[in-house]
Structure 1
Amino acid sequence: MHTRLLSPDDQGLAIACDWLSQGDLVAMPTETVYGLAGDARNATAVARIYEAKGRPSFNPLIVHLPDRLAAEKIAHFDESARALAQAFWPGALTMVLPLRENAGIASLVTAGLDTVALRVPAHPAAHALLQRFGGPLAAPSANPSGRISPTTAAHVADPDSGLGGRIPAVLDAGSCPVGVESTIIGWVDGQPALLRPGGIAAEAIEEVLGQSLIRPAINPDAPNAPGQLTSHYAPRASLRLNAETAGPDEVMIGFGKVGGELTLSASGDLTEAAARLFDLLRQADAMGRPIAVAAVPETGLGAAINDRLRRAAAPR
C-alpha cells in the first residue's frame, strides 16, 4: 500500500472523508500528536486501527468529536465533566466517562469497558475533518504500538519507524504544537483522577475543579485509559534518564543548563521541551547509539514529559 500525503484543503478533506466512510484509516494532525483515525462506529475500521499499529486489543482508544454536544450523545456528563469541557475543550484534555447505552460506538473502541475516552481537539485540520466527516473518529497516536509518537506527517509516513505502507493517507498540516498526548481524566468512586499526564497541566485542572486529583494505581495489564502500558513511546535504543553528562558512547539530550548534542530546551522552557520531545527521541535514535536524557522538573508539563520518558526507558 502506498501512503499518500494529503493537504488539509477542501480536496484533501474530501478524499480523507471518502476513505473514512469506506472503513479505511487516515492519519490526522491534532495539537498533541498525529492520530490514526477510523470511524468509531465501524467495527472493521477500528479493527484496522489495532492491526495497523500492532496494538493490543485490551488497550482502549480515544474518540475524537467536533464539540461537547456531540460528546454528550455518547457519554454521560456530570457537573464537573461539563466544567472541564467548558474550560479545556477544544484542547488537549481527554475525559473517561460512562458510556451511554446505544451510543453506537464499536465495542473494540472501549476494550469492553463501560466507559469511553472522549476528546474535542483544537487543531483546525482535525476540527475540519470531524465536521466534514460528521461522525466520531477513534484515533490513537499514528505510530506502531509502543514506539515514539509522531509529531509530523513524515514521522507517520516513514516506512521504517512509522505506518508508511500500512495506511492509505496522512493529512499533512505540519508539526504538532503541543507535542505530547492529551491529559486523561477519569472518575474513581466519584473522585476526579489523573489517569495520564499530558498536554494540560494537572494543576490547571485542579484549579477548575477546586479540588485535588487523585492518582490511582494503574494496572498496565488491564488499562482503563490509553497510554498506561509500562513500555510505551520507546526508541529502539536504550534510554538513560536524569543524566548529568553523556557516557562515552551515548547521545545526550540536554535540558536547561545541562547541554548535549541535542536539547529539549536550552532555556528550560517546558512548553518547548514538550513540543520537541518525540522529534528529538527520533533524531537521537537515528544516530544508532544509546540515549541519555537530562533531568526535567516534575511540575506542569514536566509531569507529562517525565511520564513519556519513564515509559520509553522501561524494560521491553
Structure 2
Amino acid sequence: MICRKSDEESIQIAADYIRRGKIVVLPTDTVYGFSGIVDGRHYSFHTNEKICRIKGRDEKKHLIQLISKTEDIKKYTRDVIPDELLEKWPGPLTIIVHTFAKDGNFETTAFRCPGDEWLRKVIALCGAPIYSTSVNRSGFAVLDNIQQIKNEFGKEVDLIVDDGDKKNGLPSTIVSIDENGEVKVVRQGTVTVNNV
C-alpha cells in the first residue's frame, strides 16, 4: 500500500501498520527508512529480522531505534548522557548507549529522537520505539527517489509513505558513550558533534 505523508490519516495509517508488526518505509528527517516496531514483552513480530532480510543485511547488526520524546531514552539506559547531546534532540543525532540484554548482561543500542514532528507522532501512537535503517540493499547506495523505492521494494514491504524525493539527504550523526561515560564520534552526519 502507498499513502502520502500529506494525507490527513497518514499518521494513523502508518502507526496501525507498525503496531501490527508490518514493515513500512517512512520518510525521516534524514533519508527514507525501513521501519518496524521493536519487539516488546507482550509480542514478538521479529521485525528486525524481516528488515534485515529485505536489505540483505547481517541480522547480528543492530538497527537504530527511534523514540518519540527525548526523555524516553531514560527508560532504556542508565548511562549518563551529557546535556549538550540531549539538547540536539529532537534531531538527526543517534546516540549509542548501554542497555540490558534479555540474558541480563549489557549490550549497546542506538537511539534517535527524530527532528520530524510527523514521525514523532507516529512513534508515540505505536507506544514503543520503532526500528529505522536506510532504504537500500546492503552494500548499495541509499535510495532517495520515491519512484525507485516503490519499484525496488513495493512488493517486499507492507506500506510506503510517500513524501517525495529526498535528494542529498545526509544520514544522522552517530556518537557512542563508553563504559567510562566518554562520548566518541562514530560518524559525522548532519549534526556536528565534538568528542565530549
* TM bracket, shorter-chain basis: 0.7 to 0.9
**2:86 match:** 85
The one-character-per-residue Cα deviations of 1:24-44 (angstroms, maximum 9, x if unpaired) are 111111111111110112452
**2:97 match:** 97
Task: Give me the whole-angstrom Cα distance separating, in 2, the residues matched to 1:85 and 1:164.
Answer: 36
Task: Give 1:65 shift.
Answer: 0.6
Task: Give 1:176 shift.
Answer: 3.7
**1:53 match:** 55
Task: Give me the whole-angstrom Cα distance separating, in 1, the residues matched to 2:143 and 2:73.
Answer: 26
Which AA in structure 2 matches 1:61? L
CA contact (8 A) 1:30 1:126 kept: yes
Aligned residue among 120, 124, 138 for 1:131: 124
**Bigger fraction of residues in strand:** 2
CA contact (8 A) 1:96 1:116 kept: yes
Which AA in structure 2 matches 1:48? K
Task: Give me the whole-angstrom Cα distance separating, in 2, the residues matched to 1:172 and 1:137.
Answer: 18
Task: Give me the whole-angstrom Cα distance separating, in 1, the residues matched to 2:34 and 2:107.
Answer: 23
Aligned residues: 189
Matches within 5 A, 1:134-149: 134-149=127-142
Task: Give me the whole-angstrom Cα distance separating, in 2, the residues matched to 1:83 and 1:121.
Answer: 16
**2:3 match:** 6
Which AA in structure 1 matches 2:186? L
Task: Give me the whole-angstrom Cα distance separating, in 2, the residues matched to 1:193 and 1:135.
Answer: 27
Task: Give me the whole-angstrom Cα distance separating, in 2, the residues matched to 1:178 and 1:98.
Answer: 32
5+ unaligned residues in a row in structure 2: which ranges?
A: none
Matches within 5 A, 1:191-270: 191-201=182-192, 205-206=193-194, 212=195
Which AA in structure 2 matches 1:30? T
**2:37 match:** 39
Task: Give 1:177 shift.
Answer: 7.3
Task: Give 1:100 shift.
Answer: 4.0
Secondary structure of residue in 1 paired with 2:9: helix
Task: Give 1:156 shift.
Answer: 2.2
Task: Give me the whole-angstrom Cα distance separating, in 2, the residues matched to 1:192 and 1:22.
Answer: 36
CA 1:150 to 1:187, structure 2 compared with 1: closer, same or farther past 3 Å? same
Task: Give 1:79 shift.
Answer: 4.4
**1:173 match:** 163
Root-mean-square deviation (CA), in Å? 2.3
Report which of the two structures shows the higher radius of gyration computed on alpha carbons: 1
CA 1:33 to 1:61, structure 2 compared with 1: closer, same or farther past 3 Å? same
Secondary structure of residue in 2 paired with 1:139: strand
Higher relative contact order at CA 8 Å, sep ≥6: structure 1 or structure 2?
2
Provide the TM-score with structure 2 as the length reference: 0.85
**Bigger fraction of residues in helix:** 1
**1:300 match:** none
Secondary structure of residue in 2 paired with 1:145: coil
**1:27 match:** 25
CA contact (8 A) 1:25 1:38 kept: yes
Which AA in structure 2 matches 1:28? L
Secondary structure of residue in 2 paired with 1:89: coil
